[in-house]
Every structure is written in C-alpha cells, then in structure tokens.
Chain A
Amino acid sequence: MSSASVPDPDSVPALSVPMRDRPNPLTQSKPAVIGFAFLAAMFIACLGSLPWTLSASNPEVSEVPRYDSGDPKSGRLPPVWWPYDDTDTKRAIAAVDQSTLAQIASEHNTDIDQIITDADSKAHEQAMDAAPSFILGSDNLGRSLAIRLLTGGGISLAIGICAALISVGIGTIYGAIAAYMGGKVDSVMMRIVDVLYGLPYILLVVLLAVASNALLDEYQSRARTKTNWAINQIIETQTTETDESLTRSEARVIFESDPVLQDDLMVQAAQLYPRRVFSTGTRTTLDVLTLLIAIGGVSWLTMARVIRGQVLSLKNQPFIEAARALGSPGRRVFLKHLLPNLIGPIVVYATLAVPQAILQESFLSFLGIGVKPPLPSWGNLAAEGLSELNTFRSHWWLLFFPCALLGLTLLAMNFVGEGLRTAFDPKRER
C-alpha cells in the first residue's frame, strides 16, 4: 500500500480552512459575547459578594448585616463623584461625629457652624474628608446604595435562576409526559395548561404568596390550636358542672360572646402553646423560597407547550421506533432517547426564562408582594427610588442605578439567549 513516492498526507498543505477553525456561531454574534461577559461580571460581583454583604461589619457590636447598616444622619447623600450642593454638604458634615468636628474647629480657630457655612475654608475641606462618602450614594436611612445593589442583585439573580430552573423542570417533565402518553392524557393535561394560561399569572402569584404567608403566620402564632383548646375547655367545664354536653358550635358561640372568658382562656392557652419564633434569617429565607416557588410554579406553562411540541415531533422519529423495536422499555425510551434530544430547546428556553423570572420578581417586589424590606432586591430598590423622586428635590441615583442594572442585565440575558437560539437553529444563515 504505502510506497515511498506517496507523500504523507499530513505534510501536504490543506486547500481549505479546517473545520475547527471556522467561526463558532455563538462567538460570531457580538451582542451575545458582550452580554455574556457582562453577565459573568455581574454574577461574580453580586453572588460572590453575598457572604460579605450579608454578614455584619462589626459582629461584636451589632448583628445588623452590611446591607442594612447605616446612619440616618448621612441619609440621601449623592454619589461621591457627583457635585454636592449646599444641603448635601451640610448633611454630610452633620454626619461627622461631634468630637471630630470639635477637633477640626479648634485646629482652625472657628466653630462648628462656621465650618458648615464657610465652604471655601480649609476646615470645611477637612470636615468633608472626614464625612462619610458613598460611591453610588446613600438611601434615606444612610445605607450604601452600592452594597444594597450588590445584595439586591444577588437575591434577584438567585431567585431568577432558581425560579427558571423550577419552571423549566416542571415544564419539561409535564410537557414531555403529555406528548409521550398522547391521546386522552395529553388532551386533559394540555387543557389544564390552557386553563392556567387563561388566569392572570400575577393573580396566581399573589394568591400563592398570600396563602403561604397565612400558613407561616398560623404556624408561628398557633391561633387555631389555641382557639380549639379553649373551646374544648369550655365543653369540659360544662360537662363536669351541669352534666350537659355541648356541641362544638354551641361552645364556640359561648366563647365568642364572652370577652372576659375569651381573654382568660387565651392567656392560659398562650402559656400552653407559646408562639413559635423564627429567626429573622429563617423568616427571610422562607419568604424568598415562597416567592421563587410562586414564580417558578406559575411560569412553566410556556415551557410545557414548547416541550410538548418538540416531543410530538420527536416521538415519531424512526430512532424512537427503532429503540422500541430493540425491546427498550417505555420509560427507558423516554429517559434515554427522548430527553437528551430536548437539550437544545431546554437550554435556549432556560436562558430566556431567567430574565423573565428576574423581571417578575422585580415587578412583584416593586408592588410590595415580593422580597420584603429591609432585604433589598432590584425591584424594591427601584420602588424605593421612585418614592424619592419629587419635584422639590430628586434623589435620582436611588432610582437610576437599580433600574440601569436591572435593564442591562435583562438585555444581556436576552442577547445571550438569542445567540444560543441562533446557534442551535439548524436553519440559521451562514
């Protein structure tokens, strides 16, 4: 076969560009690459700084985490690089503690009022150096907006990703099962989706959030357990005293009509069933969990429809029939042959579901049913910022930065999602 005259194929220069050197469709799209870089930076900054922002700056003095610590005296200061006007300067200097101010005053032979009013003096400059400064300004309680934005971003992104994962998970399994079973099962399952689609999703989220809140409250206060105990008490006393047995509804009427008895019994009950106490951390975590389950549990509908369509076309592919003809059990065909072929649409939809979930979270927080203050999220930071906007004096940074970060992140995510969609699309233009 091999003779000396035949040149080694590797030594012959190739005529065309090798396959692997051709541009990758994903890196071809500039918006997608820039968006991806922006997102990576955002994720590292927000999620990476969470341990720092959620911990207390000085654990021995107070337990207040960094995102919530601030001095109202230094409230509403603009970003440090923004020119301060008179009121800002006054507030900034007023926030410097008195002993430092007194020291500066004595050094320059003036008094404290003089330092504040005389803007050109050396003493004023020195006082301003000692005054607290914030890179992105501070809010009305003197908390650093930058730290609150980092924390809020971490929470928004985490909720976005988790909610998107939940929605993608439920949607994929639901849609795939509906399509794979086919027939009546499919019809019933998809009609349920249609009905849920018809309901305004905000209503569902609010209902879920309110219901879970009520459950948590009941778990903490144990009001129902206490009332039940009180009614049982009434029935018992009645039976021992008069030998007459009362029905529960009769006992309830007595209980509700006699405030003295009611108070007395409830005090006793409170001793028997003390209020269960959550730490702030637990309560916050539970609230966030409820929120992401509510968002994820409502936004899987589109995913279910997309996946159902994909599975319907996939399950008639000959390779599925071939797998059955080999004797694969149905479950195995589903898990091993169908699902891996759905990775493309799942990934694309997931990248587009994350910004949607973040937006929903922000929207709900903006309305006041999402993340509860003092825990920040981009949504409730923007809501706070909006209330700071007025014709008399605008604290623009409080509205601008949360909105800008939210907007840029959503834009970047959509660019990346679009880039992935194009890359997975077999019919894309070269």
Chain B
Amino acid sequence: MTQAATQPNMNTKSMTNTPIMEVRNLAVSFDNGSGPRIQAVDGVNMTVYPRQTLAVVGESGCGKSVTSMSSMQLVPRPPGRFDRGEIIYRMENGEKVNLLTLTEQQMRSVRGNEIAMIFQEPMTSLNPVYTVGDQIIEAITLHQDVTAKEAWKIAVKAMDDVGIPDPEGRMKAYPHQFSGGMRQRVMIAMALACQPRLLLADEPTTALDVTIQAQILELIQDLKETRDMAVILITHDLGVVAENSDVVCVMYAGRVVEYANVYDLFDDPRHPYTRGLLASIPKIGTSHDRLVTIDEIVNNPEEFKKLPGADKGVTPWWPWNEPPADLKKLNEPAGDYCLKQIAENHWVGVWRTEAVANDDSPPPQLNYRVADHKE
C-alpha cells in the first residue's frame, strides 16, 4: 500500500521497483577490553532502491559508517561482532543473499564488483607506491577476465568518465602528483571501473573544499543516473543531503530516529533531534546573537509531545530521556524502541509504549526519487 502510493511515474523499469539492498534489524557491537561491549549499531533498518540516493545522516559515532562497513563485511572482527539482523542484497542475477553470512571468498566477488566504496580521505586512500593507472587496472583485473590491454582501455575510459583531463597521460602519474579533488575522482574511477550496482560513499567530500565538493557530488549524481546505480551517501552535512539525496535516514546512538524522503524531512521534521539538527544550521541573511544548539531543542520536553497520537503516549525515542511510564519493553535487545510509521512516507523512532506496542509498521522503504518528480 505504501509502496503503491509512492510509486512515481511509470517510465522506470520494473527492476528499479525492487529494493537492491534491505538492512533489517542490524546490530553490531565492539569488544571494549574489560568494559561492556559497545553497541555501535542497535537494530537499524533501511532500504535502498536502484537509481536512488539514500543519505545516512548523524553525528560522529552514531553508527552510520559501521552500517555501511557491515554490508561489505569490512568491520574488523574481532573486536567487532554482528549481533543480529540481516542485510539482504539482490545480486545482478536476481538472487538474494545475506551479506552478513557470506564467506570471505564469496564476499570478495561482491566487494568492488557489486558494491563499491569511496572513502572520506582521498589523500591517503591511494597506495603511494603505485601509479593511479596500476591501481585502477588492479581493481579491474580483480573482477573481470580481461587482457592487460583491455584493462588499460577500461581504466582510461573510467578516468575520462570522472572528468580527469588527459587520462592516457595521467594513468602513469603517482597519487602524490594529484590534488585532493583529483584523487577523489581517481577513487571514484576505481570504484566505478567494475560497474558496481551499489556505491557506498562514506563522507566522500568531507576533506575537500566546497567547490570541489559540489563537482564531486554532481559527478556521483550523473553516474548514478547513467548507470542505474544506487548510492548510499553517508554524511553529516545537511546541505549535501538536501542537494543530493532522495531519501534520508537520520541516525542517533546506533538507531534510526527518522526516515523520510528528502522533502518531507526538511519540510516537516517529526523527531526533536532532526528539528535540532535543522535548527542549528545558520541561515544566511538573518542576524543572531547566538546560534541555536541541538541541546536547546532536545532538552525541551514540549518538543517530545508533537507527534500524532502524543496524547495516547506516542513519544519520540531519545536515550537521554526517562522512558514513559507505560513502556512495554520487549524482552530482547532494543526492545524499548520501535520505528513507527507515523505518516504514509514517514517513519520516526519512538518508545515502545502501550500505544505503539501492537503497531505493525512495515520496515522503512521508500521507492522515491527526486528526479522522477521534477517535470
């Protein structure tokens, strides 16, 4: 029902209506030596469709990177551990696999080939002792059965696609001969050389200045459109989210606090934390003595009484608040919390109180793309 309602115009291929990756109740924890295990991710749900950009937003340590690393099994284990949940990925041939249970061998054919990743630090993400050409070619030969000459051609094409001038000549250059923005382009070329169907961009522009940031993000958007690729964009920059994403997932303390399409989220934020995030963005043209902090919003009890059904006890989940008196805690991890669908296309993390205990919200899935709604 939700699915049908959000269905955009009919020119999209039928395949794009099936999710490419579904994260269900994912929980990841880390060993903390003598202390209790640190629960980095605690029951996260999200869904990505082809040709869609899902933005994952949250502050440092909220678990957004761990979620994306888990889908590549790149979380170091030990000390990390997958506690529960699954990440269902639909392979190119339509077969569905749980990425958390694949063997290292199987995982290697997924990494780079099906799912590619670009990192936050373009300055150090390339091996300083090889030319960029060698590194792109390595990525190609790892997954494709091609001759050296063909690999060279594919690599040149990939460099050209990401807008590096004189790709033939630059193939022989070393990473230190590139600027930060160019290196990030090389990383993207490397990631895209194998035609992945899902791109994990873990804060791809944090280390770059704003003009380069805009270029890189535009490049990712273009490539996404031309290749029917899905993108998970991890960031803490709401400006980047507004410009580049279709669906937004706001995370806090290892859980999803709000999940909606980008317009709904910015126009009508339902969780106090999201409101705090948005309120703390300084606005050009207004004069303030001081800026609004997130604390001012989340410390205000009134903010937690604005959800529909608040009078019946639907209260946004917030780890620093006392749980409501009528909490119906399930006897399982994260049992005090549930992600409730409060509007057709809008999910908010709430306490599992009496009012929501029998709620049967579907896991968040929004087959929504901004591009389809532009005329």
Contacts and interface: CB of A to CB of B under 8 A. Distances in A.
A and B physically associate: yes
Interface of A: 183, 317-319, 321-330, 336-337, 340-341, 343
A344 to B, nearest CB: 10
A401 to B, nearest CB: 44
Contacts of B113: 327
Contacts of B229: none
B281 interface: no
29 contacts: A318-B119, A318-B121, A318-B124, A318-B125, A319-B125, A319-B128, A321-B74, A322-B117, A322-B125, A322-B187, A322-B190, A323-B127, A324-B74, A325-B74, A325-B112, A325-B119, A326-B111, A326-B116, A326-B190, A327-B109, A327-B110, A327-B111, A328-B138, A328-B142, A330-B104, A336-B138, A337-B127, A340-B130, A341-B128
B138 A326 contact: yes
Contacts of A341: 127-129
B187 A325 contact: no
A326 B119 contact: no
Interface string B175-190: 0000000000001001
B32 to A, nearest CB: 16
A345 to B, nearest CB: 13
Q: In terms of DSSP, what is the predominant structure of the interface of chain A?
A: helix
B78 interface: yes
A322 B184 CA distance: 12
B111 A317 contact: no
B111 A324 contact: yes
B139 interface: yes
B108 interface: yes
Contacts of B187: 322
Interface of B: 72, 74, 78, 104, 107-113, 116-117, 119-121, 124-130, 138-139, 142-143, 187, 190
A356 B114 CA distance: 52
B166 to A, nearest CB: 15
A397 to B, nearest CB: 50
Contacts of A324: 74, 111
Contacts of A343: 129
A327 B115 CA distance: 10
A42 B74 CA distance: 52
- Which of the listed residues A323, A324, A325 has the most CB atoms from chain B within 10 Å of its own CB? A325
A424 to B, nearest CB: 13
Contacts of A317: 124
Contacts of A325: 72, 74, 111-112, 116-117, 119
A339 to B, nearest CB: 10
Contacts of A323: 127
A322 B119 contact: yes
A401 B242 CA distance: 80
Contacts of B125: 318-319, 321-322
Contacts of B72: 325
Given A318-B119, A321-B119, A326 B142 contact: yes
B216 to A, nearest CB: 16
Contacts of B126: 319, 322
Contacts of B120: 318
B66 to A, nearest CB: 13
Contacts of B108: 327-329
B129 A340 contact: yes
Given A321-B125, A325-B117, A328-B142, 4 more contacts: A183-B78, A322-B117, A326-B139, A327-B143
Contacts of B139: 326
A327 B127 contact: no
A319 B124 contact: yes
Nearest to A321: B74
- Which of the listed residues B110, B113, B127, B190 has the most CB atoms from chain A within 10 Å of its own CB? B127
